[in-house]
Amino acid sequence: MDNGNGACLCDLKAFVRNRYFYGKLLDVYHFELEQNYLNAKRWLLNRLVTGYGVICGLDVQAGEDGRSVVVLPGLAIDKWGREIIVPTASKPLALPPLPPATPEAPSADHPASDCNCDEHWIHLVICYHECLSDPVPALGGDCDQNGMCSPGSVRERYELEFKEGKLPAVDVSCSVPDLVAGTAINYPALAQYVSGLCPDCPDDPCMALANIHLPDSAGVLASGSIDIAVRPIVYTNDLLHDLLVCLTNKPATQDHLRGGKS
């Protein structure tokens, strides 16, 4: 995660913010320092406190032609803590063709009738993307010396990409050993868990949305060909409240959202 001058905005570090005083000369460096400070702080909290995943929306559905997928509007946080907003349904994204078959020699463990179904699976990821736009006249041109122009804004967008293979199911097992001792929370175990190393920033910030089973050349996407259960999700306060209600065997309702979002 780079701010353009080689400084990583994702790793843990001591932050530096701008200090104003009368008569201070403000230039590009200071204005970028201001933006980078606010963005990096927010992304750090998103990544380490909120967590990455889908917050709402972003359902993946088959396109009208049966050979593409469409991502519906929604909000997510990527693995670097950056917000990804899909304001309207995406354009249909055409499915890639099936890869050429790679038949294996029959064996006792893998008879000739068996099919290597993994080659029929791909997964869809969504990535944070920035693009420079709105060129304006500049005193010192970044584009060329004749045009004397420079992009005046940074638009926060997204990209969708297919990758090979089928992602495994999301692990829902307890990650804190011996969390409950009798009828109480084992606080020492919880403290030991939290006191481990902070998670590293992954090399790939993109986030999975769905596994997709590719149809053959003459077929279309079947109803069960898109599996969104492999996407990570953000456990908002509303969602945690409903989980607690469900775990206490009380009837759940979706008539309205908690936390003033209805």
On whether residue 180 sits in a domain, the answer given is no
Do 80 and 7 reside in the same domain of the chain?
no
On whether residue 243 sits in a domain, the answer given is yes
Largest CA distance in the chain: 82
Do 36 and 59 reside in the same domain of the chain?
no
pLDDT at 23 (0 to 100): 92
On whether residue 261 sits in a domain, the answer given is no
Mean pLDDT of 166-175: 88
| Residues belonging to the chain | 262
If pLDDT is split at 50, 70 and 90, which confidence band does 4 have?
Answer: very low
Do 144 and 81 reside in the same domain of the chain?
yes
Do 60 and 37 reside in the same domain of the chain?
no
- Reported as a single tens digit per residue, the pLDDT across 5-16 is 334 557 788 888
On whether residue 159 sits in a domain, the answer given is yes
- Reported as a single tens digit per residue, the pLDDT across 187-241 is 888 888 889 888 888 889 999 999 999 988 777 888 789 999 999 999 998 888 8
Q: Which residues have CB under 8 Å from 217's CB, separation 6+?
A: 97, 98
Percent of the chain with pLDDT over 90: 46
Mean pLDDT of 48-70: 93
pLDDT at 259 (0 to 100): 63
Which structural domain range is residue 80 located in? 53-97+116-171+200-247
Tracing tokens 């006249």 back to the chain, one arrives at 137
On whether residue 74 sits in a domain, the answer given is yes
Q: What is the mean pLDDT of the chain?
A: 83
Do 72 and 162 reside in the same domain of the chain?
yes
pLDDT at 117 (0 to 100): 54
- Reported as a single tens digit per residue, the pLDDT across 243-256 is 888 888 766 666 65
Point out the domain boundary residue: 11, 30, 50.
50
Do 24 and 130 reside in the same domain of the chain?
no
Distance in angstroms (rounded) separating the CA atoms of residues 120 and 167: 12
Q: Which residues have CB under 8 Å from 153's CB, separation 6+?
A: 132, 133, 134
Do 144 and 217 reside in the same domain of the chain?
yes
Do 41 and 61 reside in the same domain of the chain?
no
If pLDDT is split at 50, 70 and 90, which confidence band does 179 have?
Answer: confident
Do 39 and 68 reside in the same domain of the chain?
no
Triad 108, 109, 115: Cα angle to 5°: 110
On whether residue 149 sits in a domain, the answer given is yes
Token pair recorded at residue 103: 């038949």
Pairing of strands 180-181, 226-227: unpaired
Q: How far is CA 92 from CA 61, 69, 141, in A?
A: 10, 5, 38
Domains held by the chain: number: 2
Q: Helices (H), strands (E): how many in the chain?
A: 3, 12
Tracing tokens 């759940």 back to the chain, one arrives at 252
Do 18 and 73 reside in the same domain of the chain?
no
Tell me the whole-structure pTM to 2 decimals. Answer: 0.82
Do 71 and 135 reside in the same domain of the chain?
yes
Triad 213, 217, 218: Cα angle to 5°: 105
Residue 242 has pLDDT above 60, yes or no: yes
Pairing of strands 93-94, 83-86: unpaired
pLDDT at 9 (0 to 100): 58
Distance in angstroms (rounded) separating the CA atoms of residues 208 and 228: 9
On whether residue 152 sits in a domain, the answer given is yes
Do 129 and 92 reside in the same domain of the chain?
yes
